[in-house]
Structure 1
Amino acid sequence: MPWMIETYDRPGSGDLRLRLRPAHLEYLEANRHLLLACGAKLDDNGEAASGGLYLLAVESRAEAEAFIAADPFHTGDLFERVFVTRWRKAYLDGRNTLNEE
């Protein structure tokens, strides 16, 4: 069953996010086989990011925690909080996936 990771950036860390972003994107590309979806949480104008959401196809909490621990955003100390939660995939890309598991 997939895992969801929700991250919250440290207040006032916009510049740090921008500096770490190229390494973060490289990390995501190298691990894209694990990603069901991911992306930044944005303000109402769609401009400033304040954290992110990752949906991972991994089997255990330990794998999800290892994934986020190795992310350059995490190693660069961008995150104030990180939540790792088991996730039940019900609909993905408009398709009912409940019978696929």
Structure 2
Amino acid sequence: MPYMIETYDKPGSGALRLGTRPAHLDYLEANKHLLLACGAKLDDEGGAASGGLYLVALETRAEAEAFIQADPFFEAGLFERVFVTRWRQAYLNRQNTLNES
């Protein structure tokens, strides 16, 4: 069953995020086979990012934790908090994905 990883950037870390972003994007590209969805959490104006949300196709908490810990954003110390939560996909692309009898 997939995992949801939610990250929160440390306050005042915009420059660190921007400087690390190319390596982060390379990491995501190399691991896109694991990504169900992924993206930054933005302010209301859509400009500044303050963290991210990853939906990953991994089977264990240990795998999900290892995934986020290998992200260049994590390695650079960008995150103030990281939450890893087991997740059940119910809809994808506006389609119900649950097996209902």
**Deviation at 1:75?**
0.2
Unaligned 5+ segments in structure 2 are none
The percent identity for this pair of structures is: 79
TM-score using structure 2 length? 0.97
Name the SS for the 2:53 alignment partner.
strand
Task: Report the counterpart of residue 55 of structure 1 in structure 2.
Answer: 55
Task: Report the counterpart of residue 88 of structure 1 in structure 2.
Answer: 88
TM-score using structure 1 length? 0.97
AA aligned to 2:62 is A
Deviations 1:8-27 (A, max 9, x none): 00000000000000000000
Q: Extract structure 1 runs of 4+ deviating beyond 4 A.
A: none
Superposition map of 1:1-101 within 5 A: 1-99=1-99
Name the SS for the 1:59 alignment partner.
coil
AA aligned to 2:40 is A
TM-align CA RMSD: 0.9
**Deviation at 1:99?**
1.3
Question: How many residues are treated as equivalent by the alignment?
Answer: 100
